[in-house]
Amino acid sequence: MTNAAPSAGPGPDHRPTEATAAVAPAPEAAGHDDDMAAEPSETESGPTEWGEHPHGVGPWNDEHTGPPPEDDRLDPVLLAEGDRRNVVDAYRYWTREAIVADIDRRRHPFHIAIENFGHDANIGTVVRTANAFAAGAVHIVGRRRWNRRGAMVTDRYQHIVHHPDIDALLEFTTAEDLSVVAVDNVPGSVPLETVRLPRRCLLLFGQEGPGVSDGARDAAVLTVSIAQFGSTRSINAGVAAGIAMHTWIRQHADLTTAW
């Protein structure tokens, strides 16, 4: 391999339990939503796998001199046909399972939750950003179905957990000793820019429009807001999630382990 394997970091204790966690869950068979009709399945190509990806690589023999190394993480099909996936170069030609296992060794002890009682279209963006920052897991509260297109196939490498309601989510946070931090621009919230986030926490976001539900906000140890200076009442939930996640990264992550 051209790139060395990532160094080990935080252990797997930051992962959700196997009973509730899933990587790249397939959409529910029952029910139908118009915006889900064209969603790729678990085995179909996703938005960044349609045709030639500009950052992909060709077959191993076209890119390198000599045979590939003996490495169980390498995928024989990708070695033969090339790797056009939306992954960093260090993971080129690796199997999906090997990539997930490697990220699991380095996941951070913060989690993300988003309420999905009205089928929020921002969840895909949240999942993609959570994957970029190696979040412990993304928790979807309410409706199980969500539009995966915005995730750009990163949901295949990110632990995603479904909870039917806020009470079920809070059972998880209690068991995992995670402090719930709601992110919402409401009276009484504390500016995110002035707060030090707990290292072990779950950042909770409401859906676009209503924001965090009253029950969820009541359960939070802290509600933070993002400073705004323009005319809009709120910023996109997916953008807000990215800002909050990066705040945690700036405060707690070991930046020497970043790509």
Last residue within a domain, chosen from 102, 118, 133: 102
The pLDDT score that the predictor gives to residue 211 is 81
Residue 205 lies in a domain: yes
Q: Is residue 17 part of a domain?
A: no
Tell me, what's the pLDDT at 15? 52
Q: What is the pLDDT of residue 180?
A: 97
Question: Rounded distance, CA 150 to CA 205, Å?
Answer: 17
Q: Is 215 part of a structural domain of the chain?
A: yes
- Give the pLDDT score at 68: 95
pLDDT of residue 118: 65
Check whether residue 97 and residue 124 sit in a common domain: no
95 and 211, same domain (yes or no): no
**Domain termination site, one of 73, 102, 131:** 102
Q: How far is CA 243 from CA 179, 225, 227, 249, in A?
A: 18, 11, 11, 10
9 part of a folded domain: no
pLDDT per position in the chain (259 positions), as tens?
434 333 334 444 455 543 345 554 433 323 333 333 334 445 554 444 444 456 799 999 999 999 999 999 999 999 999 999 989 999 999 999 999 999 999 999 999 999 886 666 789 999 999 999 999 999 999 988 888 888 989 999 999 999 999 999 999 999 999 999 999 988 999 999 999 999 999 999 987 767 888 888 888 999 999 999 999 988 888 999 999 999 999 999 999 999 9
Quote the pTM value: 0.80
Q: Are residues 65 and 138 in the same domain?
A: no
Amino acid at 165: D
Q: What is the CATH number of the domain that holds 213?
A: 3.40.1280.10
Domain extent, residue 93, equals: 60-102
Task: Please report how the helices 237-252 and 123-132 are oriented relative to each other, as an axis angle in degrees rounded to 10.
Answer: 20
On whether residue 156 sits in a domain, the answer given is: yes
| C-alpha to C-alpha distance for 40 and 186, rounded to whole angstroms | 37
Same domain, 136 and 245: yes
The domain boundary, picked from 102, 129, 161, lies at 102
Pair 131, 206 in one domain: yes
Amino acid 116: pLDDT: 82
Let me know if residue 48 belongs to a domain. no
Instruction: Indicate whether 186 belongs to any domain.
Output: yes
Q: Do 82 and 189 lie in a common domain?
A: no
For 158-183, how does the pLDDT look when each residue is reduced to its tens digit (9 = 90+)?
999 999 999 999 999 999 999 999 99
pLDDT 10s digits, 229-240 = 999 988 888 999
**How many domains are contained in the chain?**
2
Indicate whether 92 and 115 sit together in one domain.
no
Question: Are 120 and 237 part of one and the same domain?
Answer: yes
User: 214 with 238, same domain?
Assistant: yes
The pLDDT value given to residue 234? 85
| Domain identity same for 148 and 190 | yes
Q: What is the pLDDT of residues 103-135, one digit of tens each?
A: 999 999 999 999 886 666 789 999 999 999 999
Furthest-apart CA pair in the chain: how many Å? 63
Q: Are residues 201 and 76 in the same domain?
A: no
In the prediction, which pLDDT does 148 show? 86
Q: What is the DSSP string of the chain?
A: --SPPPPP-S-GGGSPPTTTEEESPPPPSS---GGGTT---SSS--TTSSS--TT-B--HHHHSSSPPP--TTB-HHHHHH-B-SS--GGGTTB-HHHHHHHHHTT--SEEEEEEETT--TTHHHHHHHHHHTT-S-EEEEE-S---GGGGTTGGGGSEEEEESSHHHHHHHHHHTT-EEEEE---TTPEEGGG----SSEEEEE-BTTTBS-HHHHHH-SEEEE----SS-S---HHHHHHHHHHHHHHHH--GGG--
Residue 179 covered by a domain: yes
Residue in 88, 128, 100, 90 with CA at minimum distance from that of residue 15: 100
**71 contacts: CB under 8 Å, gap ≥ 6:** 1
Residues 188, 90 within the same domain: no
